């Protein structure tokens, strides 16, 4: 079984959404050991959104149903979609798989840009109507920079969890097993996560 890490590294110079707290780490030598202090946003780096993030009610990050985050998934290459991924780009390609990860033209990018790829409302509605439990994207947000929260609310209100700022640059389109585990931070709206894919076809 091949393990593919699709988590962006978190460091002091990591990508940060405008207005979010940029990650800041300090380390000190206490004699027998090293210890670090960490300051960051709950949506730093590769992270998972809880329903309470945009709904302001409902499940917090420590209450998320882990079966939504662990299990079969499909990576869809939508890198030719441009800045807006609409239903036509994913319709008929999800195959009933409950976890969908979107590989966009943002794969491999290391700086913020306002035209990062995002979902349209009709794409979000397609995912919820087909029973998607989790959708991930490799750009800053599932929704455009000038959003009003419609896409987030459509997904989260239907129990579809959101993973943002993945690293899918080295992952071909196809079917995998997803493991996405957020930090268990009590009562919060989101948390950084370690996200991996298991690929049985990658075995020697």
- Looking at the structure, give the CATH architecture of the domain made up of residues 2-202: 3-Layer(bba) Sandwich (3.50)
For residue 203, is pLDDT > 60?
A: no
Nearest to residue 161, comparing CAs of 65, 92, 73?
65
pLDDT of 159 strictly over 60: yes
> Is the pLDDT assigned to residue 153 strictly greater than 60?
yes
**What confidence tier does 202 reach under pLDDT thresholds 50, 70, 90?**
low
Name which of 45, 75, 74, 81 is nearest 183 in CA terms.
Answer: 45
47 is a catalytic site residue: no
**What's the predicted TM-score (pTM) here?**
0.94
Q: Which one of the listed residues 43, 53, 89, 152 is annotated catalytic?
A: 53
Q: How far apart are CA 135 and CA 179, in angstroms?
A: 13
Cα dihedral angle (38, 143, 197, 183), rounded to 10 degrees? 30
- Give tens-digit pLDDT for 74-103: 999 999 999 999 999 999 999 999 999 999
Using the predicted structure, report yes or no on whether residue 151 has a pLDDT greater than 90.
Answer: yes
Q: Which residue has the tokens 């441009």?
A: 82
Q: What digits encode the pLDDT tens for the residues 20-49?
A: 888 889 999 999 999 999 999 999 999 999
Closest CA to 71 of 152, 146, 10, 131: 131
For the chain, what are the domain ranges? 2-202
Residue-level pLDDT at 48: 98
Average pLDDT over residues 148-171: 97
């Amino acid at each position: 079984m091949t393990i593919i890490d699709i988590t962006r590294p978190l460091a002091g110079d990591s990508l940060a959404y405008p207005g979010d707290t940029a990650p800041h780490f300090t380390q000190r030598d206490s004699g027998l050991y090293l210890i670090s202090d960490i300051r960051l946003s709950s949506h730093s780096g590769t992270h998972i959104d809880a329903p309470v993030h945009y709904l302001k009610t409902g499940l917090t990050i420590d209450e998320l149903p882990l079966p939504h985050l662990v299990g079969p998934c499909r990576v869809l290459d939508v890198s030719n979609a441009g800045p807006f991924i609409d239903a036509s780009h994913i319709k008929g390609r999800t195959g009933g798989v409950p976890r969908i990860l979107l590989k966009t033209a943002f794969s491999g990018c290391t700086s913020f840009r306002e035209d990062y790829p995002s979902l349209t409302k009709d794409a979000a509605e397609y995912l919820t109507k087909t029973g998607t439990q989790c959708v991930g994207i490799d750009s800053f947000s599932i929704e455009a920079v000038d959003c009003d929260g419609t896409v987030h609310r459509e997904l989260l209100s239907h129990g579809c969890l959101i993973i943002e700022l993945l690293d899918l640059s080295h992952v071909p389109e196809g079917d995998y097993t997803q493991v996405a585990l957020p930090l268990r931070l009590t009562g919060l709206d989101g948390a950084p996560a370690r996200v991996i894919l298991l690929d049985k076809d990658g075995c020697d």
